[in-house]
Amino acid sequence: MPFKLFDYQQRIVDETRQKIGQGNNGVLIVSPPGSGKSVIIAEIARLTVSKGGRILFFVHRQELVNQIVKSFQKQDVDLMNCTIMTVGKVANRLDHLPKPNLIICDESQHSRAKTYLKIFKYYSDVPRLGFSGSPWRMNGAGFDDIYSAMVKGPTVKWLIEHKKLSPYKYYSVTLFNDEKLKKSSTGDYTNQSVSDSAKPTLYGDIVKTWMDKAFGQRTIVYAHDTQHSKQIAAEFRKAGISAKHCDSKTPSDERKRIMSDFRKGKITVLCNFGLVDEGYDVKECTCCVIARPTESLVFDIQATMRCMRYLPNKMATIIDHAANYTRFGLPDTPRQWSLEGRPKKKRQNNTKSIPVKTCPNCFAVVPTQCRVCPQCGNEIKYDADGMEIDETANIEKVGEFKLTTDYSKIQTARKKPEDAQSYKELLEIAKARGYKAGWAYVQAKRLKMVN
């Protein structure tokens, strides 16, 4: 029995079919990550196949191919009338594949690549649909020569308000020096310059911030290269947290096992490089740690929203260690998508044009007009000129705990009095928190551990 689509998903299907019916040979569907693109794709495929048509679907990763096959099966799509492959396999088999009646391409921000264009040219008379949560190229190139029409889904703000995406808390504890960053020919920062810009305390601070803001949450960490990811995973394990590294070069069987263990909760922290920033859905993931600066809006959107898949009562936590929000805003920042290219211009890495700021007490990113932080209740003070006064500028801290490499101390400080089995344990909690022994005595009396 096919899934019944949400109203906004059905609207996208109807508008897309209308655009094709109007003679548009290419239609780009733009809808935020987590809005159910696979369901929409499967429904369009089902309608096409049910009328005797044939589908050609391709995407750039095998994991995404496997996911869409499952979506097609759930939507009762006859797979005998579908060709579902990675883009590379399709490009190498064009002379042998049955001609489709409709081409569907997912993650279409990649559709300017040579392999995609080769397929589009070969099937120039076949209508094509592209799907993307972020149709944006770092070089400013547009898509109007590939797609002639666009269908837009709902905004991130609307999806949060209507319980289709989870709300989020966004923290930024910057661990990189932007002045040392250098761009490569691709437009993003070079791995070497990212390494050079990292603060000496990078690895420990990533773990300490996570322990303060997202302790125990199933988390995906985005690193800037493989070695960086492996070192972060090692630092988490040093702190007693179950963590694994994975990337595209990890052996297939091992990668599948790691991904499966993360889905099941056997692994708390999944550290990766270039692997799970597109199309990887684990609703139980509630936290994303961005441990790399980037000039890619596509990466920023895909990575920060990976933890926002909806579950009832879920609150996602995003920890941005590179202040990428100063470049792109937040997940629900309004965006104007277009098929046309955009002129190149130098990007200024500051928050002047983005109406958000960081609370100096808990590091939550909040609206500029806030006078009281909605996360920690801290009053954000201003001087006579209206400038924010950062009273913690010279205090090395993360939230309520002073930075320390003693992870066991942080874990002790996080314990609730009710977790203590004895008065001695209460004294240990008090010491870890920097409280006086009297606090432990009051708690012990309350819990009837002492007379």
Same topology, domains 7-154 and 168-333+350-367? Answer is yes
Average pLDDT over the chain reads 89
Model confidence over 68-93: pLDDT tens digits? 999 999 999 999 999 999 999 999 99
**Looking at the predicted structure, is the pLDDT value of residue 10 above 80?**
yes
Buried b (16+ CB within 10 A) or exposed e, 171-205: bbbbbbeeeebeeeeeebbebebbeebbeeebbbb
Q: How confident is the model at residue 326 (pLDDT cuts 50, 70, 90)?
A: very high
- Per-residue pLDDT for 64 more than 90? no
- pLDDT for res 21: 93
Tell me the pLDDT band of 398, cut-offs 50, 70 and 90. Answer: very low
Mean pLDDT of 14-32: 96
CA distance 254 to 50: 38
pLDDT tens-place string over residues 262-298: 999 999 999 999 888 776 778 999 999 999 999 999 9
Residue 451's pLDDT is 75
- CATH entry 3.30.70.1050 includes domain 7-154: no
Confidence of residue 412 (pLDDT cuts 50, 70, 90): confident
- pLDDT for the residue numbered 395: 33
pLDDT at 91: 97
357-396 pLDDT, tens digit each = 888 878 899 888 888 888 888 887 654 444 555 444 333 3
Q: How much is the pLDDT for 62?
A: 85
Q: Judge whether residue 172 has pLDDT over 90.
A: yes
Task: Work out the pLDDT band at 419, boundaries 50, 70, 90.
Answer: confident
The predicted model scores a pTM of: 0.85
- Give me the percent of the chain exceeding a pLDDT of 70: 91
Confidence class for position 349, pLDDT limits 50, 70, 90: very low
User: What's the pLDDT at 351?
Assistant: 41
Q: Note the pLDDT of residue 401.
A: 46
For the chain, give every domain's residue range.
7-154, 168-333+350-367, 415-446
**Whether domain 168-333+350-367 has CATH 3.40.50.300:** yes
What integer pLDDT is reported at residue 167 of this predicted model?
97
Residues whose CB is less than 8 angstroms from the CB of residue 62 and which lie 6 or more positions away in sequence, other chains included: 86
